[in-house]
Amino acid sequence: MINLIKKELSYYLNNPIGYITVILFAVFSNFLFVKDIFLVGSASMRPFFGLAPWLLMIFIPALSMRIIAEEKRTNTIETLLTLPISETQIVLSKFVSILLLVMITLLLTLGLPISLSLLTKIYLPEIIISYIGLFLLSSSFIALSMYFSSLTKNQVVAFMVSAVAIFFLLVLSTDFLSTVLPKFIQDFTNYFSPVYQLQSFVKGVVDLKSIVYFLSLTVFFLFLTVIDLEKRS
């Protein structure tokens, strides 16, 4: 597994596309955060954590779209499946490699709370818990994107379907739905929205229900990806 993780990481770290994707996320995150400070007058990290899921909606599918689709397109998936490792180990190796890359990307945003601490007093535990929530959300997005990457040989299709699926999950808790759906339905759909589940972390609260939600979503899509690979073996 370790060798496969290194192989996947080396692809991104030795490929301009990997650097471009990571840098673009960092640039957009920093720009939008600075905009809120100087134009809106917000001296809080909450706008960043509120915006991050929408940026990750594009960033994570962009990183994950090739992870299995490219293997199928080049037929290297058949070689991979003949190695003395299980389908579960293959999926977990690919999942961990992208998760590590996302962690590196999130580390690049640590300049935001550092900069904010120079302007005003911040509550450090709240920032840490918010990043933990963002990490859990990212893991669920990666698992979902990997599953859709496993269903096609076309990277663009994998990207589009993953981004659209994540978008629909995100809008489940938006104000738009509250205007067209009865409140009891809105309360039900809220639970399935990553944005809604992230809110408790952003407030500095570790909510067990939210942890279960993100872990369940991650395990569910990883399981589906393993099942898809097992069909080919």
Positive or negative CA dihedral for 164, 48, 63, 84? Answer: negative
Q: pLDDT per residue over 54-82, tens digit each?
A: 999 999 999 899 888 888 888 887 777 77
With residue 86 as reference, give the H or E element that holds it: none
Instruction: Please give the structure tokens belonging to residue 12.
Output: 């991104």
- The residue-averaged pLDDT of 77-102 equals 87
Q: Calculate mean pLDDT across residues 78-104.
A: 87
In the prediction, which pLDDT does 126 show? 87
Residue 117: predicted pLDDT = 74
Task: Determine the average pLDDT of the residues in 194-209.
Answer: 90
111-120 per-position pLDDT tens digit: 778 777 776 7
CB-CB contact of 152 with 67 (8 Å): no
Helices (H), 120-207: 124-150, 155-170, 175-180, 183-190, 194-202
What's the confidence (pLDDT) of residue 184? 60
Task: Indicate if the pLDDT at residue 223 is higher than 60.
Answer: yes
pLDDT reading at 42 higher than 80: no
Q: Among positive and negative, which fits the CA dihedral 61, 18, 54, 196?
A: positive
How wide is the angle at C-alpha 136 spanned by C-alphas 135 and 139, nearest 5°?
Answer: 90
Entry pTM: 0.89
Q: Which of 154, 137, 155, 144 is nearest to 200 (CA)?
A: 137
- If one compares 165 and 47, the residue with the highest pLDDT of the two is 165
Q: What confidence score (pLDDT) does residue 23 get?
A: 80
- Which pLDDT value is given to residue 33? 67
- The pLDDT assigned to 60 comes to 93
Question: Could you read off the pLDDT of 127-155 as tens digits, one per residue?
Answer: 899 999 999 999 999 999 999 999 998 99
The whole-number average pLDDT for the span 173-192 is 67
For the stretch 11-28, pLDDT in tens is 777 777 777 777 888 777
8 Å CB contact between 59 and 21: yes
pLDDT (0 to 100) of residue 175: 63
> Whole-angstrom Cα distance, residue 126 to residue 204?
4
Residue-averaged pLDDT of the chain: 83
Which pair of tokens denotes residue 161?
A: 């379907």
| C-beta separation of 4 from 76 below 8 A | no
Label residue 187 by pLDDT band (50, 70, 90): low
Choose among 45, 4, 51: nearest CA to 25.
51
